[in-house]
Structure 1
Amino acid sequence: MVTGRNAIKPIFRSGPSISARVAALVLASVLLILADWRFGALAPARVAFADAAVPFYWVTTLPGRLFGWVQEVFVSRDTLIEENRVLRAEALVLRASTQRLAALAAENVRLRELLNSTALLDERVLVAEIIGVSPDMSSQTVVIDKGTAHGLAQGQAVIDAYGLFGQIIEVSRFSSRVLLVTDSMHALPAQVVRNGVRVMVEGEGRIDVLDVNHVASTMDVRPGDLLVSSGLGQRFPGGYPVGVVESVTNDPGKPFAVVVARPSAQLDRSRHVLVVTEGEASADAASSGVAPSGTAQEAVDAGMPGATPRADASAPTAPGQDGLP
């Protein structure tokens, strides 16, 4: 046994302590966060990971898809007949409404021409399916199955069959992340359909609540009022339903009322959404009453069940919007 001065010395010295390693990792993490926040250094890595995660999203939704397919296969004949009857009745009503909207759209274009207003936009839409929901309760986002390969870009508005859904905040090649209108970091300018009063609608972090801010106590805003996007923020198209006012509370000691609204879109139930892409000026199409190719109606025909968005972006806007009486 070798002891004392002749003891064998270790070949490798011991590495840094655990504390030093943890401190180094924390410092590296902080530097990466700052680099990404300041310069977007990790954006390519995020896009690559998002593309790689798309198959996992599809796998996680496979049981639901399979269950829906089984339901469709074994649905009864009587159910199909009843659904067909209801859909035919709805289609008849919608055709009548479309005929009236075509005349109103032409009149709206003539009024804009008299006022030397800007040309209308033919909004094009793309059907997308929700394939993922953020597990983070503090961030209300969903993932859709369309990305840059389909012409999507950051900042585009997203709607469902009932109203404004949110906007795209991150895009990869085959998927995109959508920030819901109820997220606490989301805000958009809106207006009351009844009288054209302009307000600011902000998310509160709850799926069924919207805060309506900048409403003076003297403003005419009532429960039941429909709020639509005003288009003033140059981010969302004007005229899409945002929410319905549920309560208005006036405090005599405060200059602004506390107004709460419920979102129009079915944020926690919709499976398919429409992404509103760039449009081109087309007053002639509106005056002719013919919907342009690629509009919401075409997208609905392409396979979005139950969707009833505006058939044409040239339809009349809410009173008071864009300076119209």
Structure 2
Amino acid sequence: MVIVTVLSLVLLNIERRENYLEIVRTGISTLTYPLQFLADLPSRITGYLSESFASQDVMLRELDKMRQENNLLQVRLQKYDSLEMENMRLRSLLGSSYKLSDQILVTELMQVDLDPFRHQIVINKGSQAGVYVGQPALDAHGIMGQVTHVTPWNATVLLVTDSSHTIPVQVNRTGLRTIAVGTGDISSLRLPFLPNNADIQQGDLLVTSGLGGRFPAGYPVAAIDKIERDPGAHFTEATAAPKAFLDRTREVLLVWTASTAAQSATGNPTDTTGKPDAPAPAPEKGGN
């Protein structure tokens, strides 16, 4: 042991002065580097995997957060689309209302009658807003129907396609007057009283004639879409498609005609039932 210790001290002294063992040390380091690398490899792999899993977890959390934000933005975008469409509908209504010299009221759809044999809707304005029985209702495209029942806070509108509803119309192209009758089909009206030699064509626009004083004259009602002539019959069978979007409209315009406005101005306002103090004509049913 003493000999080994003395030899070590001698070698250390020689190395410190002459640096003879540097080549040997370098060779030994080169030979042992693969062993050092293999020995350190497990810890390196463990560290890399831990860092990878941690990074993946962070990325997954960020991805989940971005998905949630994307879903929220998609919901908001849907709302913006809905608001844009509502804005377009209101602009259409305002575009129609400026043409009216009569007073108008914009209402919203509350309920649709689920009875397949009755075409009725409920709107969110009633006698508190001056709504009365028999009042014309329309949308941005044409006549929808007329008010048949009123409460203080809402009203029922009978649509023109209801089988019990009739409306005086005229062919806009020729001025020919007739009656449009509801068929019970939301997309169709019947014209049962046209003479067989009547000058009508597919696509002819039917507008309100103003007869009876219920509907103001000149408003679109329907367009003729089918004509059947039987030489042996007295009348032509014709149908027409309503211009109003009866199954899609959410906003409904109620119109006070000039005569109604004048009646109100003379101190004869509607009462809480929605009917004028003076007798008002009943909703039109059957032929006129």
The structure-2 alpha-carbon separation of the partners of 1:268 and 1:79, relative to structure 1 and needing over 3 Å to count, comes to closer
The amino acid that maps onto 1:219 is: A
The amino acid that maps onto 2:188 is: V
1:189 counterpart = 2:168:
yes
Match of 2:77 among 67, 75, 78: 75
The amino acid that maps onto 1:145 is: N
1:251 counterpart = 2:230:
yes
In 2, Cα distance between the equivalents of 1:147 and 1:271? 17
The structure-2 alpha-carbon separation of the partners of 1:281 and 1:71, relative to structure 1 and needing over 3 Å to count, comes to farther
Residues 188 and 233 in structure 1, CA contact (< 8 A), matched pair in contact too: no
Residues 123 and 280 in structure 1, CA contact (< 8 A), matched pair in contact too: no
Report the secondary structure of 1:173's partner residue. coil
Which residue matches 1:47? none
CA deviation map 1:10-67 (0-9, x unaligned):
xxxxxxxxxxxxxxxxxxxxxxxxxxxxxxxxxxxxxxxxxxxxxxxxxxxxxxxxxx
Which residue matches 1:260? 239
For this pair of structures, how many residues does the alignment match?
A: 182
Taking structure 2 as the reference length, the TM-score comes to 0.57
In 2, Cα distance between the equivalents of 1:213 and 1:195? 18
In 1, Cα distance between the equivalents of 2:239 and 2:122? 27
Which residue matches 1:226? 205
The amino acid that maps onto 1:128 is: T
**What residue ranges of structure 1 are gaps of 5+ in the alignment?**
1-69, 102-120, 283-325
The structure-2 alpha-carbon separation of the partners of 1:72 and 1:154, relative to structure 1 and needing over 3 Å to count, comes to farther
Q: Output the aligned Cα RMSD.
A: 3.1
In 2, Cα distance between the equivalents of 1:280 and 1:73? 48
Task: After the TM superposition, list the runs of 4 or more consecutive aligned residues in structure 1 that deviate by more than 3 angstroms.
Answer: 70-73
The CA deviation at 1:75 is 2.2
1:29-178 → structure 2 map (5 Å cutoff)? 74-75=76-77, 122-178=101-157
The CA deviation at 1:125 is 0.8
The CA deviation at 1:179 is 0.2
The structure-2 alpha-carbon separation of the partners of 1:175 and 1:245, relative to structure 1 and needing over 3 Å to count, comes to same
Residues 182 and 210 in structure 1, CA contact (< 8 A), matched pair in contact too: yes
The CA deviation at 1:262 is 0.4
The structure-2 alpha-carbon separation of the partners of 1:79 and 1:189, relative to structure 1 and needing over 3 Å to count, comes to closer
The CA deviation at 1:253 is 1.0
In 2, Cα distance between the equivalents of 1:79 and 1:276? 29
In 2, Cα distance between the equivalents of 1:79 and 1:139? 32
Report the secondary structure of 1:122's partner residue. coil
CA deviation map 1:226-249 (0-9, x unaligned):
000000121100111000000111
The amino acid that maps onto 1:130 is: L
Residues 122 and 280 in structure 1, CA contact (< 8 A), matched pair in contact too: no
In 2, Cα distance between the equivalents of 1:233 and 1:188? 9
Which residue matches 2:216? 237
The CA deviation at 1:71 is 9.4
In 1, Cα distance between the equivalents of 2:74 and 2:133? 35
Taking structure 1 as the reference length, the TM-score comes to 0.51
In 1, Cα distance between the equivalents of 2:191 and 2:255? 24
Residues 223 and 246 in structure 1, CA contact (< 8 A), matched pair in contact too: yes
Report the secondary structure of 1:224's partner residue. coil
CA deviation map 1:239-293 (0-9, x unaligned):
11000000111001101000010000000000001001242699xxxxxxxxxxx
Percent of pairs identical after alignment?
A: 39
The amino acid that maps onto 1:265 is: A
